[in-house]
Amino acid sequence: MEERQTILPSAPSMQIRGRGAVGNHAGRFERYVVEANDDGWPTELDDLPPLRTTVGRDTSKSIITTNKSPDISFDRSINPYRGCEHGCVYCFARPTHAWLGLSPGLDFESRLFAKDDAAELLQKELAAKSYVPKLIAIGTNTDPYQPIERKLRIMGGVLGVLRDTRNPVTITTKSDAVLRDIDILQEMAADQLVHVTISITTLDRAMARTMEPRAASPLRRIAAIRTLAAANIPVAVNVAPIIPGLTDHELEQILSEAADAGAMAARYILLRLPLEVKDLFDEWLKAHYPDRRSKVLSLIRSARGGKLNDANFGSRMAGAGAYAEIIRDRFRKAQTRLKLDPRDEDAWLDTTKFVAPKLPGSQMTFDL
């Protein structure tokens, strides 16, 4: 049986440039773990080459994922990639890499898998007689416009299928690379078929560089909102996640700058730390913000029933308790003041125009 090495950098001097996680803990399903500890003596670890991104092929036979979560506004989604090179240390999707026998830490942001046949799979699923047209959400797990999308261009094919079939879609991203598909998005927007959300965690560029190292800078995300709005593409801002004691003071400023840029709607998510993410985030705090660590963790626990995570429907997104209520009130007041639409994405989109695709070699039908 293969033993996977887990390197656990514990000090800023051992962090890997351009990566969010400072450790590579084995996934929760692994039986054997080998840890490398720094004893102060020089080792070959000091001269490791840059951690490069590798991309494998995701051989999934389907592309649309369904869910029954009562606290989100969609029940189906598409994720063109497994893992995310943006490297956001707080990403709640990190634990999914454990199912692949990989680490939710550095593996998640450097060992990626792409669904290069996503457009073909989507066309087949939309052509099924049992398919009922509904809103499809993209970017709910990993970012569809992460850096490797520049080369693979999977999203262009997926959006082309959705445009041709007139199936509505909502896209969430931290990247201004969404603008590469602005022509398709404009076509879809004219028929009320698309809604884009730009996710912003902080406006502090230095903090963003360590917390989400390969995502677009905050200023570029604000600029993307402005460009989308100018193109008459409905665009919203998601202040996500709000990190207690670290970014919560920026809530109103982020909403204000996004509204000034043309955002028509807004929402927020309080930091979630499921499974392995708890330890990864704590390591990151120790490395980058040791002086704020106790306060941050204490506030998180105050909004999560004394724990670092609450997976219960109804409270997992916004938290509960006095601190969570303060954040909720601040958001609603800013939302009202800035005239940001409180409705979910499905209120903006039209599901009545769907046209099933004709697959190559399929039998033609005749209207009598």
> CATH no. for residue 148?
3.80.30.30
CA-to-CA separations, 225 to 175, 197, 235, 261, in angstroms, rounded: 10, 8, 7, 6
Q: What is the mean pLDDT of residues 256-275?
A: 97
Which residues share a beta bridge with 266? Answer: 237
Domain count, the chain: 1
Cα–Cα distance, 176 to 162 (Å, whole number): 21
Spatial distance between the Cα atoms of 214 and 87, rounded to a whole number of angstroms: 6
| Radius of gyration of the chain, Cα coordinates, nearest whole angstrom | 21
Tokens of residue 46, six digits: 């000091």
Structure tokens given for 78: 């598409």
Whether residue 354 is contained in a domain is answered as no
The confidence band for 17, taking pLDDT boundaries of 50, 70 and 90, is: confident
Q: What are phi and psi of 225, to 5 degrees?
A: -60, -45
Contacts of 190 (CB under 8 A, 6+ apart): 232
Distance between CA atoms of residues 151 and 35, nearest Å: 35
Residue 318 within any structural domain of the chain = yes
Mean pLDDT to the nearest integer, 281-297: 96
Q: What is the pLDDT of residues 204-225, one digit of tens each?
A: 999 999 999 999 999 999 999 9
CA distance 345 to 236: 9
Answer whether the bond into residue 274 is a cis peptide, omega within 30°: no
**Structural domain includes residue 366:** no
Q: Would you state the pLDDT for residue 42? A: 56
Which pLDDT tens digit goes with each residue over 44-66? 445 556 788 999 999 999 999 98
- Half-sphere exposure of residue 34, counting CA atoms within 13 Å on the CB side? 4
Residue 353 lies in a domain: no
- The closest of 271, 214, 275, 283 to 243, measured between CA atoms, is 271
Neighbouring C-beta atoms of residue 37, cutoff 10 Å: 7
| Position 365 in a domain | no
| Residue range of the domain that includes 284 | 4-348
For 282, left (φ over 0), alpha (ψ -120 to 50), or beta? alpha
Domain annotation covers residue 140: yes
The tens digit of pLDDT for each residue in 27-44 reads 666 665 555 555 565 554
